[in-house]
Amino acid sequence: MRRSLHATACRAAGFVTVLALGIAGARAAAPPPPVVSVVVVKPQKVYQQDSFIGRIQAAHIVNLVPRVTGYLEKRLFRQGAEVKKGQLLYVIEPGPYQAAFDQAKANVADAQATLDNAELTLERAARLLHTPAGQQSTYDDDKAAAESAAAKLQAAEAARETAAINLAYTQIRAPLDGRIGASTVNIGNVVGPNTGTLATVVSQNPMNIVFSMPTRDAIRLRQRLVTQGGLAGVVLRVKLPDGRMDRQEGTLDFTSNQISQSTDSLAMQGTIPNPVIKGLGNARTSDRELTSGEFVTVIVRSRTPEDKIVLPRDAVLADQVGDYVLTVGKDGKVARADVKLASTTPATATIASGLAIGTKVIVDGVEKVHPGVKANAKVIASPVAQG
């Protein structure tokens, strides 16, 4: 009986020993905490900005239309070239209008001579009026003749001015600096007021930017402008259709006094320089970055930066509750932090609230962890704010 109890006790002791060794082995085989990359939250200088779809619009667009009728004698420009204000572009056959002007000048000279003679006759009648040789009726007739001659002179001068204007209309000049389009009429054709547009001149520098801003964004912009000096506190940038950013900065000049009821948005307009692109030389193409009618992305950016928290865009996750990030605490445990976004770009996210300075946010390796587990945090450099 004692031997049996002893054997049982030995077997139990052996089982406990094996169990303890198994637990120790399991503990020794437990994997280390996963390595994740984190950034330490700190403020950066960030420009507040929003993007909208807009369109480039020339400040001035002028259609050249003939004011007189005649044969188109000359075209003195290269289609698509830039022209200067006052530059001669077309010449309409001037001969008939030159002749009409010369005739009008002669009529003015004749009317002037008639008036001079009538005034002399009136002067003699006035001297004789109080003498036996003078008659009131003669004086009255001479006075009427002088007044009639004066009126005829004014009519002749008006006709001369009309002839001069018509003669000037035979030369069509550029009304402003700009780029001229294609000519719609060939030399030798008869043109006139009913012909339509001969060509169009479009101003090139500066350009207008027209876009609409949703009412919600317009209210936020207005609140920002209160502390940033009004419209002067805003800078406009333009992203071109090929994805490049135009180098020039524009200004916001105008906001509509009514909100569109159909789109619940506010129309806005700005101005941006459009200088000649260096290096194009005499290339027969547009030598400026912006073209009237072009659709662009308009970036409305604050002129003065503010301190904001910026994270890589991939570090911000989202679920049914909202946006959040994963953080690593001092004890190495992973936790969830709900955040509110201010703005985002394809590369970065600006955090409006939800994170304290000094917090370690996981930016790489989020798929390895979840809230409650421990992680080995490796600190990397913070992203640079874009905009």
Q: Which of 160, 179, 200 is the last residue of a domain?
A: 200
- Domain contains 16: no
> Do 144 and 214 reside in the same domain of the chain?
no
Name which of 95-109, 165-179, 337-351 the model is least confident about: 337-351
pLDDT digit string, tens, across residues 7-34: 444 454 454 444 444 554 545 556 788 8
Q: Domain ends where: 268, 288, 306?
A: 306
Tens of pLDDT, residues 341-374: 877 777 888 888 888 888 899 888 888 888 888 8
Note whether 237 and 252 are within 8 A (CB): no
Q: Is the pLDDT of residue 4 over 60?
A: no
Same domain for 135 and 191? yes
Both tokens of 155, joined, read: 């009519």
Among 200, 228, 251, the domain boundary falls at 200
The one-letter code for the residue type at 312 is P
How deeply is 324 buried, as exposed, middle or buried, from its count of CB atoms within 10 A (0-12, 13-18, 19+)? middle
Identify whether residues 363 and 318 lie together within a single domain: yes
- The token pair at 263 is 């789109």
Q: What is the pLDDT of residues 143-163, one digit of tens each?
A: 788 888 889 889 999 999 999
Statement to judge: residues 219 and 295 lie in one domain: yes
- 275 within domain boundaries: yes
Q: Are 150 and 44 in contact (CB under 8 A)?
A: no
- Residue 283: domain span: 51-58+206-306
Q: How many separate domains does the chain show?
A: 3
Examine residue 2 and state whether it is found in any structural domain, yes or no.
no
More confident position, 84 or 344: 84
CATH number, domain at 262? 2.40.30.170
Please spell the DSSP secondary structure of 57-116, one letter per residue: EES-EEEE--SS-EEEEEE-S-TT-EE-TT-EEEEE--HHHHHHHHHHHHHHHHHHHHHH
Give the integer Cα–Cα distance in Å for 143 and 146.
5
Q: Is residue 386 a part of any domain in this protein?
A: no
Instruction: Please state, in angstroms and rounded to a whole number, the distance separating the CA atoms of residues 363 and 365.
Output: 7
- Residue 189 tokens read as 């054709």
291 assigned to some structural domain? yes
* 374: CATH: 2.40.420.20
Structure tokens that stand for 377 in this block? 């945090």
Q: Give the pLDDT confidence score for residue 181 in this predicted structure.
A: 92
126 lies in the same domain as 214: no
323 and 341 in contact (C-beta within 8 Å)? yes
- Whether 4 is covered by a domain: the verdict is no
Structure tokens at 159: 């006709």
CATH number, domain containing residue 123:
2.40.50.100
Residue 65 and residue 178 in one domain: yes
- Mean pLDDT score of the chain: 84
Task: List the single range of 3-7, 106-110, 167-171, 226-230 with lowest mean pLDDT.
Answer: 3-7
- Range with the poorest average pLDDT among 191-205, 299-313, 323-337: 299-313
Check pLDDT > 60 for residue 1: no
Q: Are residues 116 and 238 in the same domain?
A: no
Mean pLDDT of 252-264: 87
Specify whether 240 is located in the same domain as 349: no
The pLDDT score that the predictor gives to residue 177 is: 93
- Pair 65, 196 in one domain: yes
Q: Examine the domain organization and report whether 322 and 221 are in the same domain.
A: no
Predicted local distance difference test score (pLDDT) of residue 220: 80
* CA distances, 278 to each of 243, 287, 288 (Å): 20, 8, 9
Query: 222 and 133 in one domain?
Result: no
Answer yes or no: is 22 within a domain: no
For residues 301 and 319, membership in a common domain is answered with no
Helix (H), strand (E) at residue 187: none
pLDDT score of 232 more than 80: no
- Binned at pLDDT 50, 70 and 90, residue 313 comes out as confident
- Is 362 within a domain? yes
